[in-house]
Amino acid sequence: MSFRKIAVLGAGNGGCAIAADLTLRGYEIRLFSRTESRLIPIAKRGGIELVENGATKFATPYFVSPHLPPVVNGVDLIIIAAPSVAHEYLAKNLADYLIDGQRILLTPGHTGGSLHFAKLLGSFGCRAEVMLCETVTLTYICRMPEPARVEVYRRTTNLRCAAFPGKHTHGLVKEIQEIFPNVIAADSVLETGLSNINAIMHPAGMLGNAGWIESTGGDFLYYREGITPSISAWIEEVDRERLEIVRLLGLKPVRFVDIFHQAGLTSEDARASGSIYRAIKESEPNKTIKS
């Protein structure tokens, strides 16, 4: 086992799923969130309930804390499962505590996450030789219907992962595969960054449903009801631009529907049709997810 002690930074859907699943699989997990109110229900219940395939398991992480230094102290791997707006805060507060050889995995990397994070660490004076890598999206399709309880609908498949600098990709991906067997190596963080279909799908879905979300508090099925033919056409246009950038960078263009299918999120029929609307409509793991 390359990793034993793991820090998970972020206690949202993704972070809690990772913390619970890895705990259940024998890893020593420290869970951090700067939002204390997220940790209190976990501390009160003594852990996180993980629901998957109809089975409920209870995981008690090694510890949870709103303080970063004890969470990252001496861990082999730091998993950042936080939105990119948290990168600056995390890099600033990690810079003095990181040590040579620690691995950092951004999951998801968002678009340009590793590049951003490496730059931030440097700007905050971090001199430790850490190794950075990122995945395209989350390792689990999941939601927290209530605090300290996470429901996993699907483990993402063929999840691309790349390191920055790229020379570390081969070694890091092999290590990461021990804890996330669903991860595969990408050519570079350009590939992972530009395969981020969340960045392609979600802005149109959010902007084009802003009134609905605000008026109902998000009480409708985001993918099933919110991604209508017009919203899909809008996503299609954004994807067309992404593919153009991919081509100009000399990378291999892979359409939204193909990435979505590779990730295990839609049917082969929908992929073959090329229709983004159908791909999202026929997404089994996303079907109960609200806005």
Residue ranges that bind a second copy, judged by CB under 8 A: 205, 207-212, 214-215, 220, 225-231, 234
Q: How far is the CB of 219 from a second copy (least distance, A)?
A: 12
HSE value, Cβ hemisphere, 13 Å, CA-based, for 67: 4
Q: How far is the CB of 275 from a second copy (least distance, A)?
A: 16
User: Measured from the CB atom, is 181 or 218 closer to a second copy?
Assistant: 218
Q: How far is the CB of 291 from a second copy (least distance, A)?
A: 9
Q: How far is the CB of 283 from a second copy (least distance, A)?
A: 16
Q: Where are the beta strands (DSSP E) in 107-158?
A: 131-135, 140-146, 149-155
User: Measured from the CB atom, is 92 or 224 closer to a second copy?
Assistant: 224
Q: How far is the CB of 189 from a second copy (least distance, A)?
A: 32
- Using an 8 Å Cβ cutoff, are 83 and 76 in contact? no
Rounded to 5°, the CA angle 41-44-50 comes to 60
User: Measured from the CB atom, is 89 or 212 closer to a second copy?
Assistant: 212
Angle formed by the axes of helices 229-248 and 197-207, nearest 10°: 150
User: Measured from the CB atom, is 57 or 202 closer to a second copy?
Assistant: 202
- Using an 8 Å Cβ cutoff, are 158 and 263 in contact? yes
User: Measured from the CB atom, is 29 or 289 closer to a second copy?
Assistant: 289
With b meaning 16 or more CB within 10 Å and e meaning fewer, what string describes 115-130? bbbbebbeeeebeeeb
Q: Using CA atoms, how far apart are residues 160 and 171, in angstroms rounded to an integer? A: 14
Q: How far is the CB of 63 from a second copy (least distance, A)?
A: 38
Residue (of 135, 145, 148, 154) closest to 20 by Cα position: 148
User: Measured from the CB atom, is 61 or 226 closer to a second copy?
Assistant: 226
